[in-house]
Amino acid sequence: MAGEEQRRRWSLQGKTALVTGGTKGIGHAIVEELAGFGVIIHTCARDEAHLNECLSKWKNKGFQVTGSVCDVSSWTEREKLMQTVYSLFDAKLSILINNAGAIRSKPTIEHTAEDFSFHISTNLESAYHFSQLAHPLLKASGCGNIVFISSISGVVSLSISSIYSATKGAMNQLARNLACEWASDSIRANSVAPTFIATPLVDNAFDDEFKKW
């Protein structure tokens, strides 16, 4: 009886969520956790084959997850994705997880203008734009939630990538601003800043010696 009561208390049955970059690493774990609580989820990824593979596995687990191919660094693709979410969830969205991100680990003096644009558009601009686009849907839900997946590098200095760290620091401040600005619309905004986690992003960005640290 106690177990059933606990499940009801923590149930998110019927809630809807958009999780960007949900096929790998932290995003994949978020999708599975939310789906386990009964959330109906839409996610996105750049790799169509891998996205379809994940969707098939989630279907076999009984999870309610759909997905779209989307490069979150593209303004038009972000708008197209949100149009899909609007249609799927009848213009209401309970949860937005701004998870998609990327890193090119280099010393500051080696970063190019293209590196700068890549980090800004993928990490910060996408989160900002998705939040803007999702606002009316989150407001319509009556109790919207935005979670920004940031990084400890946005809080303290780490010698990984100054541009990456700057985007995560800006993301933390964006969460603070939206939490205050949109509180009257019953929308909460929070930022989560994990340290290094064994994900494909970390594996690809750093050498073995750094990962031992």
What residues are annotated to the active site? Answer: 164
- Interatomic CA distance for residues 67 and 23, integer angstroms: 9
Enumerate the H helices of the chain as residue ranges. 2-10, 25-36, 48-60, 75-88, 113-119, 126-141, 162-181, 200-205, 208-212
First-residue to last-residue Cα distance in the chain: 46
Closest CA to 26 of 118, 98, 132: 98
DSSP class of residue 125? I
